[in-house]
Amino acid sequence: MPAFGFNRQDGETPAPIPAGRYETIIRSSDFKLTRSGGERLVLGVDVIAGSYTGRRIWHAINVAGSDGAINHGRRALAKLLGALKLDKIEDTEELHGKPLMADVRIESSFGYDDKNTIDDWHPLEDKGARQGLEPAAPVARAAPAAQDAQARRTFMNNGNQAKSATPKPTAAEICGEDIPF
Q: In the chain, what are the domain boundaries?
A: 13-136
Distance CA 94, CA 113 (A): 32
Assigned CATH class of 13-136: mainly beta
Helix (H, G, I), strand (E, B) or coil at 77: helix
DSSP 51: T
pLDDT tens column, 127-172: 655 434 444 334 444 344 443 433 333 333 333 344 444 555 555 5
**Which residue type, as a one-letter code, is found at position 66?**
S
- Give, in order, the Cα–Cα distances in Å from 97 to each of 27, 32, 130, 145, 180: 6, 21, 23, 43, 67
**pLDDT 10s digits, 86-122:** 999 999 999 999 999 999 999 998 888 889 999 999 9
Give 175's pLDDT tier (boundaries 50, 70, 90).
low
Report pLDDT for 156: 31
